[in-house]
Each structure stands twice: as structure tokens, then as C-alpha cells.
Amino acid sequence: MGLPLIMGVFFNEILFGFIYLSFVGFVLKGCDGSVLLNSTANNQAEKDGPPNISLHAFYVIDHAKKALEAVCPGTVSCADIVALAARDAVHLSGGPTWVVPKGRKDGRISRASETRQLAAPTSNISQLQQSFSQRGLSMEDLVALSGGHTLGFAHCSSFQNRIHNFATTQDVDPSMHKSFAASLRSVCPMHNKVRSAGANLDSTPTTFDNRYYKLLLDGKSIFTSDQALLTNPTTNTLVKKFADSREEFEKAFVESMIKMSSITGGQEVRLNCRFVN
């Protein structure tokens, strides 16, 4: 229940929003659905903090929640809905599927300021490692989960650090493939005025495959945090392994998604995902 409803809405924007949401949600508070909460008069919620998550994804979660409440009141948490939606979004894009451990509870606190704990797209390898290890995730989890960037889209603001004023002597990140960087600069000029402008995260952005790793080895990744995976011997070796084998990537991705979504911390089954009970 709930899942056919989600699957009925087959818009990539929404699907990939779920996957990103499952990551953003976990990093902030453990998978407690706090990322879904609306701001209130005296609290700015995570949702309204720095990383922009597709608003449409929130509406679909609301619909699934409504359908579930009609059938099994107070039973399925918003955090479980997000974890299931992310799993289905991956599978619908041609990726693997897996059994999501259920029974998460939703949290009662959501603060915009805490989104700062998220690894940023400008993070280097030590910052990524720190952010992941604080939550019990390894370097292998980091490399496998970054493969989520086989799907979806990023706005110019998320990667402009690499294509304008990168360093005092270089305008563009020298680790980027030259013509790839030039094409990003043409869609994202220095003073970009087009709010929706940006780039796909890989060249097959609606297919869940291992292309992301191949492009990464070619200097064609979008974020500094992607490129950073090549700067450490352990993560570099894993990037090569996943570029060589889609099977190895999928196996590791599933393991890490399950691990990521097992980190919990909530207290209740929220009745409306946007508000605490």
C-alpha cells in the first residue's frame, strides 16, 4: 500500500528527490523523517535550510501518507515512507531493489541550522570522511553511496566553485575535463540569472548504472565532493572497482543504503509528515 501510489507518479524530478531526500534525511537526524517537517512560527525547519530538495517530492510523500493513514492509522512512519520511496526510485530507474528494514519512528525536532552538518558539494575527502564516520559509515559506504549521483540534476550554485574563481591562479578546477568544464560554464555563467539552470549528474541521468564512476575517472563529475573520491588511495581504488563492475557497485550500494537507513532516532509515527503529533 502506498507504493503503487508512489509508482503511479513517474516524474524523474520527484523520483530522484526521494533518493536525495533519503540521504539528506539520514545525515541530519538519523532516518527519522525530520526532514519532512514544515517550519513553524518559531522554528525554521531543515527543509528550509541550505540544500534544496524538490518540493514535489514532499507532495507525493503527503499523498502516500494520507493513503496509508486511511488504511492503517498511526502505523507507517514518514521515515519509512521516505526509505521505501528511495528504494523504489532506484529500482524504477533500472537499479537493484532490496528489503527496507521498517519500523523507524519519526522525530519531533527539525532545525534548518543543522543542515550545516551535511557534507557539502564543496567538501574535500577529509570532510566527507568525517561526516560519514560520525554516523558510522565507512569510506566504502561513502564511495558506494556517492554513486547515487548516477541519477538526477544539480543547480549551478552547487558546483560553481569549480567553474568560476576556483583559485587565485585558475578560474576552473584543473582536475575537470576541459571541454566538460567549458560546457558547464556555458550553462552556468558567472552571474547566472536562470534559477533553474544546472547540469545532470551523469550523462545517463535517468538510468541507475555505474556510468557515474566512469565519468568521474574521466574528470567529468559535477561536485568537488565527487572529484574528492579520487584523492585518497582507498576511495580511488573503490571508484575504479565500481567503474569496472556494475554488479559490484549495485551490491555495495544496496548494503550501504540499508546501513544508512538503519540509523534511526525518532519517537512517534507522525500522522501528517509536515507536523509533529
Ligand X SMILES: *[C@@H]1O[C@H](CO)[C@@H](O)[C@H](O)[C@H]1NC(C)=O
CB neighbour class for 118 (10 Å; exposed up to 12, middle 13-18, buried from 19): middle
Residue 6, all three cell numbers = 508512489
Residue 19's binding partner among ligand HEM, ligand X, none (Cβ under 5 to 8 angstroms by kind) is: ligand HEM
Nearest distance, CB of residue 141 and ligand X, angstroms: 19
What distance in Å separates the CA atoms of residue 243 and residue 128, rounded to the nearest whole number? 20
Would you say 214 and 220 are in contact if contact means Cβ atoms under 8 Å apart? no
3-state secondary structure (DSSP) of residue 20: helix
* Residue closer to ligand X (CB basis): 158 or 264: 158
Binding status of residue 266 toward ligand HEM by CB under 6 A: no
- Which residues in the 59-118 window bind ligand HEM by CB under 6 A? none
Would you say 85 and 56 are in contact if contact means Cβ atoms under 8 Å apart? no
Residue 3, all three cell numbers = 507504493
Residue 77's binding partner among ligand X, ligand HEM, none (Cβ under 5 to 8 angstroms by kind) is: none
Nearest of 53, 32, 65, 94 to residue 246 by alpha carbon: 94
Contacting ligand HEM (CB under 6 A), which of 93, 115, 158, 232? 158
* Residue closer to ligand HEM (CB basis): 54 or 210: 54
Positions in the binding site for ligand X (CB under 6 A): 38, 52, 124-127, 155, 157-158, 274
Residue 224's binding partner among ligand X, ligand HEM, none (Cβ under 5 to 8 angstroms by kind) is: none
Binding status of residue 17 toward ligand HEM by CB under 6 A: yes
Nearest distance, CB of residue 125 and ligand X, angstroms: 5
Binding status of residue 149 toward ligand HEM by CB under 6 A: yes
Would you say 91 and 67 are in contact if contact means Cβ atoms under 8 Å apart? no
The residue assigned the cell 539520514 is 26
Task: Using alpha carbons, list the distances in angstroms from residue 235 to 35, 41, 129, 221, 225.
Answer: 29, 44, 10, 15, 12
- Which residues in the 216-235 window bind ligand HEM by CB under 6 A? 223, 225
Nearest distance, CB of residue 35 and ligand X, angstroms: 13
70 Cβ partners below 8 Å, 6+ apart?
none
First to last CA, the chain: 22
* Residue closer to ligand X (CB basis): 245 or 272: 272
**Contacts with ligand HEM, residue ranges (CB under 6 A):** 13, 16-17, 19-20, 23, 51-52, 54, 119-121, 123, 128, 145-146, 148-149, 151-155, 158, 201, 223, 225
